[in-house]
Amino acid sequence: MKTLIAGNWKMHGQQAWTVKAAGFDRLLEATDREHIEVLICPPYPFIREMFVASAARHIKIGAQNCHAIEKGAHTGEVSAEMLADCGAEYVIVGHSERRAAGERDSDVSAKASAAFRAGLTPIICVGETLEQREAGNANNVVEAQIIGSVPDSAENFVVAYEPVWAIGTGKVAEISDIKSMHAHIRGLVGDNVRILYGGSVKPGNAAAILGTENVNGALIGGASLNMADLSAIARSAPKN
Ligand code: PGA
């Protein structure tokens, strides 16, 4: 199982950044790459060009969201089929920033099903708020999100555990908390699903996080905007 180093650019970037991302390849030696898979999820308008620009294919391209159905009168929406047609291989679904805007587990599950239909791999995001953690409910909250957001009989998917309070705040969960939550998620999704950690992953903390049992990669927001930081995180992945 290769470690997945996934960058989520959120609503950042411009057309010129596609070149910068293509240059990412040169920052990693071949030996740094063998055991990892690198993914960048830019805003929709840059997906096609980034796919073309990373033609050597050491970087995969993904999206940050999709609509649940294939086509129709849904102004402003983008289907999973359209993303696949533009070269995307992954799609993030149920990011906490989207859940905060009203997305429910059932919406996330429908989007993950759309990803399967289009041949994309969904990265299904889960994570508790600080209030839920302090009330001792983190495990139950995440378990309910997984049960509600992972479609029945889903096989080829990725889970990203992102404690909401750690996203974009510089606060990282304790390694012991990451280890125990990832073990809990492992028990729910089985051995073949990669479980990513996300929330303020940076070059300085990546080795400890990526070296934690049942952590199979990272979902990286802020630090993925800087190719030197993203490649440093990629180099921190354990080599076994
Ligand atoms: P961050 O974002 O790395 O900036 O905390 C992570 C995410 O939202 O996926």
> What is the rounded average pLDDT for all residues in the chain?
94
Among the atoms of ligand 1, which is closest to the Cα of residue 198? 6
- Give residue-wise pLDDT tens across range 44-70: 999 999 999 876 668 899 999 999 999
- Give residue-wise pLDDT tens across range 223-237: 999 999 999 999 999
Is residue 240 predicted with pLDDT exceeding 80?
no
pLDDT of residue 221: 97
pLDDT of residue 55: 67
- Closest C-alpha to 115, from 148, 154, 144: 154
Among the atoms of ligand 1, which is closest to the Cα of residue 199? 5
Is residue 138 predicted with pLDDT exceeding 90?
yes
pLDDT band at 27 (very low <50, low <70, confident <90, very high): confident
Count Cα neighbours of 186 within 13 Å in the Cβ-side half-sphere: 12
pLDDT of residue 56: 65
Q: Tell how far the Cα of 220 is from the centroid of ligand 1, in angstroms.
A: 5
Residue 109 CB partners (closer than 8 Å, separation 6+) = 148, 149, 150, 151
Tokens of 9: 């650019």
Among the atoms of ligand 1, which is closest to the Cα of residue 200? 5
Q: Which of 10, 64, 129, 167 to mutate to test the pocket of ligand 1 (most atoms within 8 A of CB)?
A: 167
Whose Cα sits closest to atom 9 in ligand 1?
221
DSSP, collapsed to helix, strand or coil, labels residue 218 as strand
Is residue 23 predicted with pLDDT exceeding 80?
no
- Domains along the chain? 3-235 (3.20.20.70)
Query: Could you give the percent of the chain with pLDDT greater than 90?
Result: 83
Report how far apart the first and last C-alpha atoms of the chain are (Å, whole number).
10
* Active-site residue list: 95, 162
Whose Cα sits closest to atom 3 in ligand 1?
221
Cα 213 to Cα 183: distance, rounded to the nearest angstrom: 8
DSSP letter at 72?
S
Mean pLDDT of the 118-141 span: 97
Q: Tell how far the Cα of 73 is from the centroid of ligand 1, in angstroms.
A: 32
Mean pLDDT of the 28-48 span: 90
Cα 59 to Cα 5: distance, rounded to the nearest angstrom: 10
Is residue 84 predicted with pLDDT exceeding 80?
yes
Q: Which protein residues touch ligand 1 with a CB less than 6 Å away?
A: 8, 162, 167-168, 198-201, 219-223
- Give residue-wise pLDDT tens across range 143-170: 999 999 999 988 899 999 999 999 888 8
- Give residue-wise pLDDT tens across range 181-228: 999 999 999 999 999 999 999 999 999 999 999 999 999 999 999 999
Q: How far is CA 85 from CA 52, 54, 69, 80, 109, in A?
A: 12, 16, 15, 9, 21
Q: Tell how far the Cα of 71 is from the centroid of ligand 1, in angstroms.
A: 30
Mean pLDDT of the 111-138 span: 97
Cα 110 to Cα 237: distance, rounded to the nearest angstrom: 32
Q: Tell how far the Cα of 167 is from the centroid of ligand 1, in angstroms.
A: 5
